[in-house]
Structure 1
Amino acid sequence: MKKFPFTPKGVQAMQKESNALSVDERLKVAEYVASNPVEFISENFEMSEEQQAYLRELELVDIRVTGFSLAIGFLGQVPIEMQDTTPPSTFAARGKKKKEVSANISTTTNPQTGSTSVTGLIGIKWTW
């Protein structure tokens, strides 16, 4: 996959491309995202050095929650909203960013067909 801008539209474009993959391919992406969210984000989105540094310095719990949330979004084709709202000029001038992760996921299985549908929204936002 090519690199996308790290903007809401860039995240949507990346997810649209991944939604076109087969279930097996999306499963591989989801497993990789869950295990390596920092690498996945870095490999797939155009980011500044400051943004890259911020990702590398996240606490382990933040990294895992981010990875698992993104994996759910990619595997279940649930919309993902991910963005950094910090103006670039102030990024290095302030201390730690606040990271918000929200996940609203619902799965429904049809007992007659056995098919499962996943709905909801994954939101990840970095801000001061």
Structure 2
Amino acid sequence: MKSLIMFSSLFSFTVIVIAFIYSELKNNKHKELCNEFLEQYHYIPADVLAYQSSGILFTFQKDIFFLMAAIFNDDSFFVRNLDKNIYSFIKKQPSKKIFWIKAKFLILIFGFISLIANYIAFTIFIK
């Protein structure tokens, strides 16, 4: 049982690392999306600019604004303070074009959920 939990934990950490690698590989898509936003609205939101140059540490934070606009409705609690231009821009994009944002966060969430499940299994069966 210990070895199963050990390998499962290793798998969880690997998935989280893969999420960061995937995010860095899709950095050009983020820049393309920001450039299109800049062409259409003539500015880039300050929140996105603040996280763009922060490197791998905030790699997920720079896309959270686009993700929230992609998955929540206009009147949702989660997008109440979101720039309406971001919301309308993302809603106009084809789903294939912004799929990488959803995939990146799904990989990360899967990694964290499996890590939490490993911790629970460890505390129940091993500790």
Give the TM-score of the pair, scaled to structure 1.
0.25
Q: Which one has a bigger Cα radius of gyration?
A: 2
**Higher RCO (C-alpha under 8 Å, 6+ residues apart):** 2
Higher helix fraction (1 or 2): 2
Give the TM-score of the pair, scaled to structure 2.
0.25
